[in-house]
A and B are shown apart, each in its own frame.
Chain A
Amino acid sequence: MSSLSAHLPALQVVLPLLSAPFAVLLRHGGFAFGIVTAGAWAAFACAIGLWLQTGEAGIISYHIGSWPPPWGIEYRVDRLASFVLLLVSGTAAIVLPYSRASIEHEIPRELHYLYYAMFGLCLAGLLGITITGDAFNVFVFLEISSLSTYVLIALGRDRRALAASYRYLIMGTIGATFFVIGIGFLYLMTGTLNIVDLGERLRTVEDSRPVLAALAFITVGVSLKLALFPLHQWLPNAYTYAPSAVTAFLAATATKVSVYVLIRFWFSVFGETLIFEKLPLPQILLLLSLAAMFAASFIAIFQDNLKRLFAYSSVGQIGYITLGMSFDSVNGLGAAILHLFNHGITKAAIFLLIGGVVLGLAKNSAVPNSRGVPAGAVPPAPTFDRLAGLAKRMPLTCFGIVLAGLSLIGVPGTAGFVSKWYLILAAMEAGQFWIVAAILLSSLLAIAYVWRFVEVAYFKPAPEGTTKQEAPLGLLIPAWLLVIGTIWFGLDTSFTVGTATEAALQLVKAGR
């Protein structure tokens, strides 16, 4: 099967992409589930294969249609790409089995096959963004994943899901259009779209205005997609009202892949000299990251809806990733890549577990609502007044949320600690000790919002007549796999830290 391994880069995207039309053709929720899940698992297998290959061969280049780059579209897998591919396809492979049990209560049955088709497309789009070596192709895959994301969010039962999806559509399209304007300027200046070729040719026209405009457009456009602090307005509502499985998948992958695009363009295309020496970009990014870490985490503390709380926490955590990027050092970039992965699995675990909570609330309509909202078709939101004494009802779910919450705070022994540790090391290496203090202080805010959940779930008395009613196993097993993952990658860091460091080294070496 040596020929198969040579085609892994194509199969990585094609298999989930093919699963989507098959799901539409089959028109049956169960079959569609089977084929899209098979596609996601196959993609995960491909990602593992590519990770092993990049470990040996360094960079893999695959020529679509046998047209050599820079004329044809090249699929290019380096260490960073394979790491992100692993995160995206792995999350999909875990979230899809979860969906089976979860969307049963959230989406009308006759729409299930379309849900799976959209999921397959979204996965293919995200994998495509990561793997492609062609700048315009990035835009195409970005739109494939975005359009399917808007649909997935709009599938939420609450009508606010529609408004959230619409808002995301407007913001996301502006972001993608900004991005494509930037690509246009680059193409005008260099006549090429291949990312590696762009990087080489830009050296000669580095100082021209169109290149600076391109940098501005691409940075702002991608920042919209990755929800960098002042551009995060679409995120909280979209995460809050989307179906649980969708929220988990998006939180772990969509913003992370956008971060990947920003890293790719900053380091592989524009190059470090332009970004870090001629422009005040790192300073701006540093300030915005700090603002995200503090402001978003602070807003999170005052949310009453659990999903919304962790959505704001996501905005804050993205701040840590961009903070790592702003250091202009291998360690800083490595820490950013590391946090991208660790935060991805942590947040996915939390949102999957909250999905179980939402399901429990919907089933247990006997939970009295103090303010008397008329019970409609909309499931009750996981607000704190409904969660009192939740630990009695769902001990495993609550324990999982607490463990993942510890990872958000950065308690030793969890994945979040590892990435924050490397972030702090990078800050100390840069000699900026006030940033170390800022990282520690903002972690205090994370303690505050995680504590709010702990207090309500463990220390508030449960309503009378509460019985133990754990989430179904179909929800618990995938979620706990991710929780165990956050602990595992907190204790055994050889895989994550090793790959992240190699990826950062590769990027910085190519960028200089």
Chain B
Amino acid sequence: MENDLVLRVVGKLLIPFILLFALYVQFHGDFGPGGGFQAGTISAAAIVFYALIFGLDKARRIMPDRLVEAMLASGVLIYAGVGVAGLLLGGNYLDYFVLDKDAVHGQHRGIFWVEVGVHITVCGVMLKIFYMFASRGQDGEE
């Protein structure tokens, strides 16, 4: 599909907006449908889209396997880190109330970082799954 002009142009136009939309879904998750899961999948979809149009190798150049693996691990660490922060600040595990000056702000801060962690992990996992399956047939015998 690399030579299809329409796809290339449309893809180049759309991908930034897909990523932007992912961020919108991420940060609007407080007020409407959305959140880390959905946003993570959308931003992964942008990369998958890129890979479909420009080829897996090019996609792997901008999102190397190492980075993807680091993402899926660090997201979990961020999530768990919020929990541990609650512990260190004197609350129970995953206690949001103690994260800021009052409970409401603490809730905001806690859920923000948790969703960031979810986003990173979901995006990493989606890409990892895509890479694994997409690269399978190429270096195999089929």
Contacts and interface: CB of A to CB of B under 8 A. Distances in A.
B92 interface: yes
B87 A10 contact: yes
B80 A18 contact: yes
Interface in B58-80: 66, 69-70, 72-74, 76-77, 80
B115 interface: no
Contacts of A21: 72-74, 76-77, 80
Interface stretch (B5-13, B36-44, B94-102): B94-102
A451 interface: no
A115 interface: no
B92 A64 contact: yes
B35 interface: no
Contacts of B87: 7, 10
A65 B73 contact: no
Interface stretch (A22-30, A92-100, A153-161): A22-30
Nearest to B75: A21
Contact of A66 (B66, B76, B77, B91): B91
Main SS at interface, chain B = helix
Interface in A188-221: none
Interface in A2-56: 7, 10-11, 14, 17-18, 20-22, 24-25, 27
A63 interface: yes
Contacts of B76: 17, 20-21
B93 A24 contact: no
A22 B92 contact: no
A76 to B, nearest CB: 14
Contacts of A18: 77, 80, 84
A294 to B, nearest CB: 45
Contacts of B73: 20-22, 24-25
A25 B70 contact: yes
A14 B70 contact: no
A14 B80 contact: yes
Given A24-B69, A25-B73, A27-B66, A17 B80 contact: yes
A458 B76 CA distance: 51
A442 to B, nearest CB: 45
A320 interface: no
Contacts of A63: 92
Contacts of A65: 86, 92-96
A62 interface: yes
Nearest to B121: A21
Interface string A54-73: 00000000111110000000
Most A CB contacts (10 A, CB to CB) among B69, B72, B94, B96 go to B94
Contacts of B96: 65
A63 B95 CA distance: 9
A22 B72 CA distance: 11
A65 B76 CA distance: 17
Contact of B92 (A24, A27, A66): A66
A14 B77 CA distance: 11
A14 B84 contact: yes
Contacts of B70: 24-25
Given A24-B73, A65-B86, A7 B93 contact: yes
Most B CB contacts (10 A, CB to CB) among A25, A27, A65 go to A65
Interface string B117-138: 0000000000000000000000
7 contacts: A10-B92, A14-B83, A18-B84, A21-B80, A27-B69, A64-B94, A65-B92
Interface of B: 66, 69-70, 72-74, 76-77, 80, 83-84, 86-87, 91-97
The 6 A-B residue pairs with the shortest CB-CB distance in the complex, in nearest-first order: A10-B93, A21-B73, A24-B73, A65-B94, A21-B76, A66-B95
